[in-house]
Chains A and B, each alone.
Chain A
Amino acid sequence: MGLNSLTIHEAKEGLKNKKFSALELTKSCLEAIKKNNQLINAFITVSEKEALEQAQKADLLLKDDQDLPLLGIPIALKDLYLTKGIKTTAASKVLADYIPQYDATVVKKLKNAGAVILGKTNCDAWAHGSSGENSDFGPTKNPWNIKYVPGGSSSGSAASIASRMCLAATGTDTGGSIRLPASFCNLVGLKPTYGRVSRYGIIAMASSLDSIGHFTKTVEDSALFLSVTAGKDDYDAVTPTVAVPDYSQNLKNGVKGIKIGIPKEYFIQGLDPRMKKIIENAIEFYRKNGAEIIEVSLPHTEYANACYYIIQPAEVSSNLARYDGIRYGNKREDFGDEAKRRIMLGTFTLSVGYYDAYYKKAMQVRTLIKKDFDEAFQKVDVLMTPVSPTPPWRLGEKVDDPLKMYLSDIFTVTANLTGIPGLSLPIGFIDGLPVGMQILGPQFSEELLFRVAYAYEQQNKFYEKTANL
C-alpha cells in the first residue's frame, strides 16, 4: 500500500517524522491518477506541474519545522471551486475552457494551510444530479464496483479518494451531493451548517441551500479539514460570526448520555431491508454504549423532496442566468438536458400565475419542515437516519427517468432546507457496495456530529478497507 493510501493524520505524522517527503506523497497520488483515472474518470483536470511545485514548497516549510494544518497533504477540488489560472468547468460544456481569475475563499484557505492541490474533480454538471451521470465529461465510476454509480453530484471527489488518488477532496451539498456519494464510496462526508463555510468563488447552484463541505476517509481527518475551511468570510454575507471551535477536542468523549433521535418517517417501506438491518445494528451499538435512543416524528418528511424540487430549480434558474456567453463561457445552447430541465422548471414556478401555487407554497412548507426539526431537537441531541433509500445503483439505471433520479434525495434534502449539518458515516457493505448512515444535528453542532460518528467508526474501522481496482 503506497503513500497515497494514508489518512491525513497518518501522512502528517510521516511527514513530521521525515519518513517520506511531501514530494514523494504527491507523486504517489499522481501515479494513482495516471494509473486509474482513465477507468474511473474522477478528474477532469490534473494540475500536475502546480501540484509538484506546491509539494516542493511544502518540503521546504517542513524542513523548517513549520506546522500548517494540511502541509504537504494532496487533495482534490470539485470542479465547481474556482481556481485561479486552472480551468474550472462545472463539468459543463458551457465552461469547457473557462479559466478563473481568482481563487474561491476555501481554495485560498486550503492553500494557506499548506495543502497540495492535485486537480479538479468530475461531477454532475452544475451539481445537478445524484449519480455523476449528468457530467458533460462522461460519468465517474464507483471504485468499489465500476458498473455502479459513485453517487453525485460530487462523484469525482468521492471516487478520487476511494481509488486512493488523493487523501481528501472538497464537495458541495445542496440536496445531498456530499452525503450520498460519501455513503456510496465508504467515506466520511460532511455537509456543514449553512453558512459555516464560505461559498465565495464556488459556482452557485441554489443559494439558500448550497453547503460547502468535504470528503475524507476518517472522522478525525474530517474534523481537521473543517477547522481549516470554516469561518466568517466578508465575501459571503451569510457566514455568521459564530466562532470556529477546535473540532477535534471532544472527538473521543464517547456517547454516554447523548440523546439520539430516530425519526420514524425515514424508516418507511421504500427503504432497502438490508440497509435497514445495518442501520439498526449501528443504533444498537449506540444504545449499548450509553446513548439514549428516542423515537421521534418529523411529520412533514414526505413533502420535503417536492418542496426541494420547487425551491432548488427556482434558485438554479436565477443563478444560471449569468451564463450568457458574453463575458466568459460558451453559449446557453451548450447546457445539457438536466440543466435545461431545471432552468425551465424554475422559470415556470417563478412565473406569473404560478408563483403562489408553487414557489410560495414551497417556502411555506419549508417553514413547517424546519419547525419539525426545531421541535425534535428540543427532545434529542442528534438524529440518525439512512442516507439513501437504496444501495448504489447501476450506471444507466436511472438516467432516462429524471423523476426516478430525484427520488434518491428523499432523505438528504431536509438538511439543506433547514440549514442543519449532516455527516455521512460508513457503516457496512451490501454485496461489496458501501452503505452509509446520516447523523444530523442542530445548526453549528458539527463537533457533536464528529464525536458521535467517531465512536462507531472506531468500532468497525471500515476506512481500512480498500477498493480493488
Chain B
Amino acid sequence: MKIDVLHIAKLASLKITKNEIDKFESQLSSILDYIKKLQEVKTENIQATSKVTDLENITREDETISSFSQTEAISGTKSQHNGLFKTKLILE
C-alpha cells in the first residue's frame, strides 16, 4: 500500500523535500502493511469506541474567569505588530 506522500504532506501542512519522499514512502508503506492486519478482525455490528470513560458533555457555569493578559498571550511569538499576532496573507 503506497501513500501519496506529497499529497498527505500538503494536507498536514508539512514540507517534504524531494530527497525525503522515497524514505517516507517506504517507511509509511511498511507501517501500513503492518496495520492492515486489522482487516482480519470481524467487526460487523461492533460499535466504535472513541472514549474509555462514560463522561459526556461536561459543562461549567457561563461565568467570566481570568485568563492571560495581552502581554502574556503574545509573549511566545516571533512576529507581532501593535500587540497583535502578525501572519502571512491568507485571503487576497
**Residues of A bordering B, CB below 8 Å:** 98-99, 101-102, 194-195, 208, 234, 237-238, 240, 300, 302-303, 306-307, 309-310, 317, 321, 324-329, 332-333, 335, 340-341, 343-345, 347-348, 351, 357-358, 360-368, 370, 402-403, 406, 417-419, 443
Contact = CB atoms under 8 A, between A and B. Distances in A.
A368 B13 contact: no
A443 B11 CA distance: 37
Contact of B38 (A195, A307, A406): A307
Contacts of A345: 28, 31-32
Interface in B28-72: 28, 30-32, 34-41, 43, 46-53, 55, 58, 60, 68, 72
B19 interface: no
A195 B3 contact: no
Contacts of A360: 48
A306 B35 contact: yes
B48 A364 contact: yes
Q: Is the interface of A mostly helix, strand, loop or mixed?
A: helix
Interface in B70-90: 72-79, 85, 87
Interface of B: 3, 5, 8-9, 11-16, 24, 27-28, 30-32, 34-41, 43, 46-53, 55, 58, 60, 68, 72-79, 85, 87
Contact of B37 (A234, A238, A306): A306
Given A310-B35, A347-B12, A351-B11, A328 B51 contact: no
Chain B contact residues, majority secondary structure: loop
Contacts of A328: 75-77
A270 B87 CA distance: 52
A303 B37 CA distance: 7
A324 B78 CA distance: 12
16 contacts: A101-B68, A102-B68, A307-B38, A310-B38, A329-B76, A344-B12, A344-B14, A344-B24, A345-B28, A347-B12, A348-B3, A348-B32, A351-B11, A368-B46, A403-B34, A417-B52
B61 to A, nearest CB: 11
B30 A324 contact: no
B18 to A, nearest CB: 15
B41 to A, nearest CB: 5
A424 B38 CA distance: 28
A309 B60 CA distance: 34
Given A344-B3, A345-B31, A306 B38 contact: yes
In the A-B complex, the 3 residue pairs with the closest CB atoms:
A328-B76, A419-B52, A363-B48
Given A324-B13, A327-B73, A364-B48, 13 more contacts: A208-B51, A238-B58, A332-B13, A340-B16, A340-B24, A341-B31, A344-B14, A344-B24, A361-B39, A367-B47, A402-B31, A403-B27, A419-B53
B51 to A, nearest CB: 6
B49 A370 contact: yes
B85 A327 contact: yes
B60 to A, nearest CB: 6
